[in-house]
Structure 1
Amino acid sequence: MKFKSLLLCLLITLCISCEATQTMHSHASTHTPDVEFPIPVGLVNDFDNILSEEQETTLFNLVKQHEAETSNQIAIVTLTSIQDYSGLEEYSLDLANHWGIGQKDINNGVLIAVYMKDRRVWIHNGDGIMDKLTDDETLNILKKTIVPEFKKNDFYSGFQKGIKAIIDELNSH
C-alpha cells in the first residue's frame, strides 16, 4: 500500500507511560537512499523481541484471517532503531511505503509501529479505509484499548485488543 502524505490519516504520538495525545504533521517522505529498512517477516514483525513466538503466531492468525475476509492488511512492527530519522512518525511512514502494506489499488492497510526506546506508538491508515476507521476512532482505540495494556507492560494484550478493536471498527461500516 502506498502511504502518501494525503493518505496518511492518523499520526498518533503516545507516550506509553503518559497520557495519549494526537498529533497531525506534514507527512512528506523523508526517505534517503542510504536507509536500510528491515525485511518484513510477515504481518507481525517483532524486531524488538517483546512478544513470544506463540503470541506472534496468534496475532498473525488474527490479522491474516481479517485479510482473507476483507483484503485489508494490518501489520505490526516493533523497532529497535529508526536510524537517522528524527522520530518514529517519519520512519514508520517511509517503512509502510517501503513494505507496501495493504492492497496497492485499494490503499487498505494499517500499520501499528512501536519504538520502545522512545516509548511511542504510531498508527498509519491508508485512505481506502478512512471512511471505516477515522482519526478519532483510532485515537479512541489507542487511548482506551492499547495504551492501558502497554502501561502494564502487557504488549501482547495491547496489540491483540487493539487489532480486534480496529477489525471491529472496519467491519462495522
Structure 2
Amino acid sequence: MERRAGWWWLVLALVLLAGMPAGAWQDAKETWGKLRTSRFKIPLPDNNYVNDYADLLRPTDVTYLRTRLERLERQTGVEMTVVTVKSVAALGAKNVEELALDFFNSWGVGNRKRNDGLLVLVSREDRRMRIETGSGWGTALARDLQNTINSHFAPHFKKEKYSDGIVAGVDQLCTIISRPVPYTDRPWFKPAVVAVVILVLAAVGVSMVTTGEGGWGYLVVSGIVQFLMLVLAVLLSNSHRRHRRYGWSSSSWGGSSSSSGSSWGGSSSSSSRSSSGSFGGGSSSGRGGASGGW
C-alpha cells in the first residue's frame, strides 16, 4: 500500500507540472536557479506580496497588505514585497542589509528591464529592518525610505506593535511610489529658460508684425523662431518625464508578460503571480535602500 501511495503522489506531481502554464514554469525554473546560488538560506516565496515567516502580522493585515500591494502593482507597474524573519542569523546572515539584498536578488523582485522593485525586510529578534530597492531607482528614494522607517515603522515597533507598524509603513511607501516628484525637485534653471524662450518668441513675433520684415531677413528670423520652438518643446517634454518619475501608470507600460520581464499591468497576471510566488526578474545593487532599528 505504501509503495502504491508513493506512485500516486508522483503521478499527481507530474499532472500538476504538465498543467502549469509555460510562463509560470519558466518563472519557477529561474527562481529555483537563483535560490541554488543564493548566499543564505533563502526560502521559496509563497506569495508575491507578503511572506510572514516570523508571524508578526495579523491575518486581516496580511489580506489587506496583499490587496494593497497588488493594487500598487496594477496601478504603477512597481512591485513591492514584505518579508518578516525571526532573525538574520537563522538564515545564515550577519545583518539585515546583506540578507535583504540576497532575498531581493534570489527572488528577482521587480521588473527585469526597469529594476524598480522594493523589498521590506523586518527581523524581529535583531530589532532591525531594511528597505531594499531595485538598481533602477538609484538613490532617488533613499531619503524618503529613511524617513518612512523613522516615522512610520519604528514608532510602532518600539511598542511591539509589529502588524500596525508594517501596515503604516507600507501605506506610506505606496503613497511615495504613487506620487509625482515635487516641483522643487526639478532643476531650477529649466523654468527660467522656458520663460526666456517664450519672451524671445513674443518679441520676435511683435517685431515681424510691426516692421513687416521680408526676404532673407524674414527667413533668418523664421529659422530662429523655429529653433527656439524646438528648444521649448524639448524642455517641456523632459519636464513632463521628470514629473512622472514616481507616478508611473500601468498604461505607460503596455501589455504584461511575466516570462519576458516586461510590464505587469493586468490584474489577472498579477493574481496568477501572487499565488505562484513568481517575480519579474529584477535585481538590486544594494546602494539605494535604507535601514533602521528600534
Residue number among 152, 167, 179 corresponding to 1:160 in the alignment? 167
Q: CA RMSD in A?
A: 2.0
Structure 1: segments with no counterpart, 5+ residues: 1-30
Query: For 1:76-125, what per-residue CA distance to the aligned partner results, in whole angstroms no more than 9, with x for missing partners?
Result: 00113433221121111011100111111111111110111111100111
Report which stretch shifted further, 70-79 or 158-167. 158-167
Alignment partner of 2:57 out of 48, 51, 55: 51
Residue 124 of structure 1: SS of its match in structure 2? Answer: strand
Counterpart CA distance in 1 for 2:120 and 2:177 is 15
| 1:41 aligns to 2:46 (yes or no) | yes
Preserved CA contact (<8 Å) 1:75 1:111: yes
Work out the CA distance in 1 between the residues paired with 2:152 and 2:158.
11
Range with bigger deviation, 74-83 or 42-51? 74-83
- Say which of 123, 141, 144 aligns to 2:131: 123
Equivalents in 1 of 2:150, 2:38: separation in Å? 35
Q: Find the counterpart in structure 1 of residue 84 from structure 2.
A: 78
Stretch of structure 1 that moved more, 121-130 or 87-96: 121-130
Is the 2:152–2:165 Cα contact (8 Å) retained in structure 1?
Answer: yes
Determine helix, strand or coil for the equivalent of 1:78. strand
Unaligned runs of 5+ in 2: 1-35, 181-294
Following superposition, which runs of at least 4 residues in structure 1 exceed 4 angstroms of deviation?
31-34
Over 3 Å counting, the alpha-carbon distance change for 1:157 and 1:81 in structure 2 is closer
- Aligned pair count reads 142
Give identity over the alignment, percent: 27
Residues in 1 aligned to 2:82 and 2:39: alpha-carbon distance in whole angstroms: 24
Match of 1:106 among 104, 111, 114: 114
- CA, structure 1 residues 157+105, in 2 after alignment: closer, same or farther (shift >3 Å)? same
Which residue identity is paired with 2:61?
Q
2:257 maps to none
In the alignment, is the contact (CA less than 8 A) between 1:78 and 1:114 conserved in 2?
Answer: yes
Distance 2:85 2:123 in 1: 5
CA contact (8 A) 2:38 2:102 kept: no
**Correspondence 1:144 to 2:151:** yes
Q: CA deviation at 1:32?
A: 6.3
Contact 1:129 1:170 in 2 (8 A): no
What is the identity, as a one-letter code, of the residue corresponding to 1:36?
A: K
Q: Which residue of 2 aligns with 1:4?
A: none
- Between Structure 1 and Structure 2, the one with more strand by share is 1
Based on CA coordinates, which of the two structures has the bigger radius of gyration?
A: 2
Which protein is richer in helix relative to its size? 2
Per-residue CA deviations over 1:4-63 (Å, capped at 9, x if unaligned) read xxxxxxxxxxxxxxxxxxxxxxxxxxx966743111111100001111222111111111
